[in-house]
Amino acid sequence: MAEGSDEEKTEDPTPQRLEKAREEGQVARSRELTTFLLLATGLAGLWLTSGWLIDSVMTVGRSGLGFSPAIAHDPARMMSHVVAQFFAVARGIAPLFVVLVVVAIVAPNLLGGWLISAKSLKFDVNRLNAIKGLGRVFSANAVAELAKAVAKSVLIGSVAAGFVYVHIGELLDLAGADPATAIVHALRLVIFCCALMVLVFVVVVGIDVPFQLWNHQKKLRMSLKEIKDENKENEGDPQIKARVREQQQRMARQRMMAAVPEADVVVTNPSTYAVALAYDGDRMGAPRVVAKGADEVATRIRERAAEHHIPRLAAPPLARALYRHADLDAEIPAALYGAVAEVLAWVYQLDRASREGDAAPAVPDHIDVPPELAVPAGDDSSS
């Protein structure tokens, strides 16, 4: 049952899934929003440019309905007259036409944003499959779109039919009115009818836009297994990550062991911890930790130090404090300067005695560690 439930697409799509769908050209779109904006823009354009349109129509009408014998008997002048009439009409509708073209380009991208996807344009043989094509035609989504189109047509058609029915008398009276009055009145009726359809479309858009957003999310829903696979792909296989981490730790230990011969002294617990310190007054502002470890690693550090004759000092409180509070390949904390200075002084005395053949200096038997950095004996937690 658990495995079956993991396969059910019940989870919202992840940001990565949404981005991948976008790259493939899958975004939420609403045709009704585009249609509404075109109608609203056309209505506003008709309202704002009605005077200009009326003048243009009147001019073209007077010129077109007039009769000139000279033009009627001269094909060349007739053609020039037709071209002039065409450009007169074009000048009248050009501003509104340009605005509508801009809206037609911008409107589809208001929902889902701009999208240029090469994958959506890529040739796919499966799109030529007639069986799958019929399946898409008679799918539940196609039936829903058909039902929506029919409902929209009935709604808009009812509004238009109702408007014509109410104003049928005015429309018939236009036949007997003078052309100027008829054109002005007809244009006002058209604008008013369009305004009613735009108001109806507000309802249509208010339903379609949320539906398209919901339907887009639904199509991209993921199963728990898909989310787990995606996380595994992003973060990597835990087993592979563990092996990589183990390899990194092994390489870090190898580099650390290679640095032990460069140390001046190794401070031990004496068996649990080992911290190798190096100090060069010309290159360092303070002693640095070149290696540190516990248990088996500490044993290897001590063995490595013995191989290269690095002095070792058993100072448990200092070893614990250095292991806990000093980072590898970093300078020791300022609070431990005094304690480490005692150790380095002993190392320098030991080196001078070895070179001059003198007796070895006494081994420091008590090195104080500041209380705030002291680590109780038996506390083996790492830094």
Q: What is the mean pLDDT of the chain?
A: 80
Looking at the DSSP bridge assignments, the partners of residue 9 are: 223
Is the pLDDT at 379 greater than 80, yes or no? no
Average pLDDT over residues 30-45: 84
What distance separates the 2 farthest-apart alpha carbons in the chain? 138
Average pLDDT over residues 240-264: 82
Is the pLDDT at 224 greater than 90, yes or no? no
Query: What pLDDT shows up at residue 57?
Result: 67
Is the pLDDT at 73 greater than 80, yes or no? no
Is the pLDDT at 153 greater than 90, yes or no? no
Is the pLDDT at 92 greater than 90, yes or no? no
* Higher per-residue confidence, 316 vs 88: 316
Query: What pLDDT shows up at residue 135?
Result: 63
Query: What pLDDT shows up at residue 13?
Result: 84
Within a 10 A sphere around the Cβ of 341, how many other Cβ atoms?
14
Q: Which pTM was predicted?
A: 0.45
Query: What pLDDT shows up at residue 383?
Result: 43
* Higher per-residue confidence, 85 vs 27: 27
* Run of H or E including 212: helix 179-219
Q: How far apart are CA 15 and CA 94, in angstroms?
A: 44
Is the pLDDT at 40 greater than 70, yes or no? yes
Average pLDDT over residues 351-377: 84
Per-residue pLDDT band for 344 (boundaries 50, 70, 90) equals: very high
Sign of CA dihedral 19, 21, 25, 30: negative
Query: What pLDDT shows up at residue 3?
Result: 47
Is the pLDDT at 1 greater than 50, yes or no? no
State pLDDT tens for residues 262-287: 999 999 987 889 999 999 888 888 99
Helices 179-219 and 140-166, interaxial angle, to 10°?
160
Domains with residue ranges and CATH for the chain: 27-219 (no CATH), 241-373 (3.40.1690.10)
Average pLDDT over residues 13-28: 79
* Higher per-residue confidence, 66 vs 183: 183
